[in-house]
Amino acid sequence: MAALITRSDARSDESRALRQVFYLPGFDPREPETYWGLFRRESRLTASRRGMAIAVGDPVRSGDGISLDWDVRGDAGRVRYSLLRWDDIVRARFPRPEWQRLRAVPALLARLYRAGYPRRLRKEARRFSTVILGVHRIYLAFVALSLILACAGLLLLPAHLRLWALPAVPLAAYGVLALLTRVSRGKPLYVAHLVDDTAFTHDHAAGRTAGMPARLDAFAARIAAAEAAGAAEEIVVIGHSSSSFLGVEVLDRILARDPDFGRRGTPVSFVTLGSVIPWIALDPAAHGIRAALARVAAAEAIAWLDIRAPWDWLSIHLRDPLTASGVPSPGPGRPAVLRVQIEDLIEPRIVARRRWNLFRMHFQLLMASRRTEGFDYVAFVAGPEPVHAAIARCRRGAARSGTAADEPEVA
């Protein structure tokens, strides 16, 4: 019977949502309820600071397991928030067994250096490349240190036992390496996380991430069905971190099946924050990603906003993601740009304390703003202003001020 509901019937439903938000998280193995808890906590801060009425409902896992859904109710109406899940795919790849890293890291770095990739990445994202290439150098240093320590242990044995103990040196080195990687998995280095995330990104560029194509198809079907039903006043797709490029792929899949997507009266918006699109698109193997990026950029029916955080070392924000990826831009405002300063979100004394907590700063855009006039994620997705109207306002503001799409990268 649900398939027989018409768009007009859906629009007359009293429970019709103000907007349907589809949020795609980055490379994160945590359960999706973690994000619900973050959203609920930050919504309380937003409501208190801005005098808004915001109530976050309980989360419910969808029957097919690909989303965690909850309602957000306030003065403006009801917002349906759906987190599209791929945490199970992340857990299958992070943390990897140490032997897989030992085999894969040198091969990946050799491929990328032969292709000139590090040079292009440094040009577009000096700080981001410093972090990503830096953790790989740290990992290789761990490998060397492990061998040195294992050999030193061998030399401490009596001379007549060293020959017998020689076969144990690789095992001892492996154990030391596993310990070093485990110790550095969290802050401030995040070696294992960033090394495994890099492996996923470049495997995905080459089409070697089992499970992702089917998951992206499922995401595309879910979003397309919501737009076709017309049960919300607008559709908003948000891609954070690695999902900035996964969101592009999802929208490209929808457009390939339905060229009229976004043209049936329900506005569709795409929001990227903490974007790392050039990270994958600059890989010579990423032919499909670059083609999808060009097609989505040309789809004027989908409003696109790129929210940039100059303080975030784990995002790429020097230029627009199209130009930075070597994809011709269809024109100004694709995407529209909103630059957010860290002082709008947290106090300078807190900035100084958190500056080197890279992942904490990477998630700061998802948190409440201390300044009521600044960008606030909860107010952005659950406030009264339509997201597509906010994007149009950013485009008009940039056109009036003549703001360039490119900006210098601050050290």
Q: Is the pLDDT of residue 406 over 80?
A: no
Q: Is 171 a residue whose pLDDT tops 70?
A: yes
pLDDT tens-digit series, residues 111-142? 999 999 999 999 999 999 999 999 999 999 99
Helices assigned H by DSSP within 157-190: 159-165, 169-183
Can you state the angle between helices 98-114 and 191-205, rounded to 10 degrees? 60
What is the reported pLDDT for 349? Answer: 86
Hunting for tokens 């784990």 — which residue is that?
314
pLDDT score of 402: 55
Q: Any idea which residue has 């790429």 for tokens? A: 316
User: Rg (Cα) of the chain, in Å, rounded?
Assistant: 23
Cα 321 from Cα 278, distance rounded (Å) = 6
pLDDT band at 12 (very low <50, low <70, confident <90, very high): very low
The rounded percent of the chain whose pLDDT value lies above 90 is 84
Q: How far apart are CA 211 and CA 88, in angstroms?
A: 10
How far is the C-alpha of 153 from the C-alpha of 144, rounded, in Å? 14
Tokens of 80: 């349906």
In this predicted structure, what is the pLDDT of residue 148?
97
Please tell me the predicted confidence (pLDDT) of residue 114: 97
Q: What is the mean pLDDT of residues 291-300?
A: 97
Residues in a beta bridge with 67: 84
Helices and strands, counts by H and E, the chain: 19, 9
CA distance 85 to 214: 12
pLDDT, mean of residues 385-389: 96
| Contact (CB, 8 A) for 316 and 364 | no
Q: How far apart are CA 169 and CA 149, in angstroms?
A: 9
The larger pLDDT score, comparing residue 181 to residue 333, is at 181
Full-model pTM: 0.92
pLDDT of residue 290: 98
**Average pLDDT over every residue of 367-386:** 94
Q: Is the pLDDT of residue 399 over 80?
A: no
Position with higher pLDDT, 37 vs 9: 37
58-105: pLDDT as tens digits: 999 999 999 999 999 988 899 999 999 999 999 999 999 999 999 999
> Which pLDDT does position 400 carry in this prediction?
63
313 contacts 131 by C-beta, under 8 angstroms: yes
First to last CA, the chain: 58
The answer to whether 304 touches 336, Cβ cutoff 8 Å, is: yes
Give me the domains of the chain, ranges plus CATH numbers. Answer: 2-89+211-242+254-401 (3.40.50), 96-184 (no CATH)
> What pLDDT does 16 receive?
73
CA distance 249 to 313: 24
Query: Taking a C-beta distance cutoff of 8 angstroms, is the pair 269, 304 a contact?
Result: yes
pLDDT-derived band at 355, boundaries 50, 70, 90: confident
pLDDT of 318 reads 87
Task: Kindly report whether the peptide bond that precedes residue 118 is cis, defined as omega within 30 degrees of 0.
Answer: no
Q: What is the pLDDT of residues 309-347, one digit of tens each?
A: 999 999 999 889 999 999 998 988 899 999 999 999 999
Return the number of other C-beta atoms located less than 10 Å from residue 182's C-beta: 13
Q: What is the structure's pLDDT at 241?
A: 98
The amino acid sitting at 312 is: D
> How distant is the alpha carbon of residue 330 from its chain centre?
24
Evaluate if residue 13 carries a pLDDT over 60: no
Work out the mean pLDDT of the chain and round it to a whole number.
92
Q: Is the pLDDT of residue 360 over 70?
A: yes
pLDDT of 394 over the 60 cut:
yes
CB atoms within 10 A of CB 408: 7
pLDDT for position 58: 98
Average pLDDT over residues 279-308: 97
Residues 361 and 142: their CA atoms lie apart, in Å, by: 26
Sign of CA dihedral 188, 46, 244, 352: negative
